[in-house]
Structure 1
Amino acid sequence: MLEINSIKNGIVIDHIKAGVGIKLFNYLGLDKADFTVALIMNANSNKLGTKDIIKVESNIKIDYTVLGFIDPNITINVVEEENIVKKTKLKLPAKIKDVIKCKNPRCVSSTEANITHRFYLVDDSTGEYRCEYCDNSYEHI
């Protein structure tokens, strides 16, 4: 049986949709980490069936907005002395910038250099976002 020990100090990113863990692992640059990290894929989950988990033996800075956009069901646990001291449940962010790009070729964010790509959430259930400049739709889920 596979055994992954608990971490003493760091973070655990839990309830990641199965298969998305590697995307988060790479986004966070954990493949270049000089501290202990574990990517657990397809772990059994009562809630999800299977899930991915990332354990990081370090207190790295994480952009919760981007992680919530990638997978809004993630839970982030901050661990100190092997105890969870803070638990944060992520959700789709109300606004995101420079995460996705507008696909409208006439949008100012597509035609002008150095324009911040900004989107706002229209519908939680469908994951629909709209560009703040041209109102073009982007469906996330």
Structure 2
Amino acid sequence: MLEITSIKDGLVIDHIKAGMGVKIFNYLKLDKVNSQVALIMNVKSKKIGKKDIIKIENSSEINYTILSLLSPHLTINEVKDGEICRKLIPELPEKVVDVLRCNNPRCITTVENYVPHTFSLINKDRGTYKCDYCDNITKLSDL
């Protein structure tokens, strides 16, 4: 049986949509940190069927909002002295700059490198964003 021990101080990113753990791991550049990191994939979950989990010992600051873009229903547990001291469920941001990329080949952001990729939330339940320049729709499920 696989055993992943608990952490003393750090973060546990839980309820990550199965398969998105690797994307979050790469986005956070966890392969470059000096701390212990565990990426656990395809764990059975009563809530969502299967999930991924990331445990980061002695973690530094992480942009929680960005994590919600990658997996909207994840939870973040901050651990201190082996106990969960705070549990967070990040909200989707109303405005996103230079995180999402517009996939419309005619959008100014794909032609002009200096133009920031700016998106506005149009449907929180579906995780849908609209490019502020060309109105192209991006769904978080398509990431």
CA contact (8 A) 1:65 1:96 kept: no
TM-score where L is the length of structure 2: 0.89
TM-score where L is the length of structure 1: 0.90
Per-residue Cα deviation, 1:59-115 (whole angstroms, up to 9, x for no partner)? 222111211111011101110000111111123322111112223344332332311
Match of 2:130 in 1: 130
Q: Quick one: distance in 1 between partners of 2:46 and 2:126?
A: 24
Indicate whether 1:13 and 2:13 are aligned: yes
Q: Quick one: distance in 1 between partners of 2:54 and 2:41?
A: 9
Indicate whether 1:22 and 2:22 are aligned: yes
Measured after TM superposition, the shift of residue 23 of structure 1 is 1.2
Per-residue Cα deviation, 1:17-74 (whole angstroms, up to 9, x for no partner)? 1111111111111112211111111112111121110000012221112111110111
Structure 2 segments unaligned to the other structure (5+ residues): none
Does the C-alpha gap of structure 1 residues 104 and 43 become closer, same or farther in structure 2, counting only changes over 3 Å? closer
Q: How high is the sequence identity, in percent, across the aligned residues? A: 51
Output the amino acid matched with 1:72: P
Give the number of aligned pairs. Answer: 141
Q: Quick one: distance in 2 between partners of 1:103 and 1:26?
A: 21
Structure 1 segments unaligned to the other structure (5+ residues): none
Match of 1:107 in 2: 107
